[in-house]
Amino acid sequence: TMLNDAVDLDMFKPKNSHRNVLIRDFLPSGQILIGIVGRIEPLKRQLDLLHAAEQVIRQSTNTVCFFIIGRIHSRQYFKRLKKIVGKRGLGKHVFFTGGRDDMPQVLASLDILVSLSGGSVMFEAMACAKTVISAGFSTVQSAVHIQDGRTGLLITSRRSAELAHAIKKIANAPDLRARIGNEARKWVQDRLSSTVMVDRTQQLYNRLLQKPIKANRQVFIPSHLRASM
């Protein structure tokens, strides 16, 4: 049995005002804001996002801006990303924010989150009623968090052209973004709220405690549960 991370729905929620920390810190208003979150290193595939971003920027009728959000883990990789942004003239549309300690506000400020390596940030963005585009690391059969076209967009390919197409599709469709975002938050509320996850964890422990323990099998029981036994 696998238990996902719980999401604090009081912390990660749609912004209820016009306060947008990314526009405040980087931009004038009016743009479509697209982000990727994670340590800056090859594993997180920020380079793949840049390849797609260039296509979107060149072809989109909307003003789109991309935010690469996260601390630098690989200085060499970061320099490569910065060089590409400068060489291809993307500096007015691509921003490196560094690490942020206000992630609930940052995610609530985005229009779209691109996830190229998974992680709980997907659930947090969904809780903020944002459209998540999940690309190139899961299959339709294995993806449980993204129901393609309903709670997000799922792309199994790693091709930048397909990611760019998905970004343009969502960027140009505010009604679709809103519908998917609302469905995404409801999905998280029903499955990943703190209350739901506490109940599921308790049920799992109860099942484990009811099973006979083999001689060579060790079962870890947290101290707060041992105290109640």
Residue listed under structure tokens 């697209």: 34
At residue 7, what are phi and psi to the nearest 5 degrees?
-120, 130
Q: Which domain holds residue 198?
A: 194-226
Chain centre to alpha carbon of residue 172: 20
**pLDDT at residue 9, rounded to an integer:** 73
Phi, psi of 198 (to 5 degrees): -65, -45
Look up the CATH number of the domain holding residue 177.
Answer: 3.40.50.2000
| Residue 80 within a domain | yes
| DSSP string across 102-149 | -HHHHHHH-SEEEESS--THHHHHHHTT-EEEEESS--TTT-SS--BT
pLDDT at 87: 97
Do 59 and 124 belong to one domain?
yes
Q: What is the pLDDT of residue 224?
A: 45
User: Which pLDDT belongs to residue 73?
Assistant: 97
Q: Are residues 102 and 203 located together in one domain of the fold?
A: no
β-pairing verdict for 131-135 and 112-115: parallel
Token pair recorded at residue 220: 């870890």
Q: What predicted TM-score, i.e. pTM, was given to this entire model?
A: 0.77
In a domain, 79, yes or no: yes
Block means of pLDDT (10 residues each) for the chain, 229 residues, are 61 63 65 95 97 94 90 98 97 95 92 92 93 81 75 92 96 95 92 62 64 57 48
- With a CB cutoff of 8 Å and minimum separation 6, the contacts of 47 are 77, 80, 81, 84
Single-letter residue type at 181 = G
Same structural domain, 182 and 153: yes
Q: Which residue, 14, 150, 40, is CA-closest to 95?
A: 40
Do residues 66 and 88 share a domain? yes
Let me know whether 208 and 103 are in one domain. Answer: no
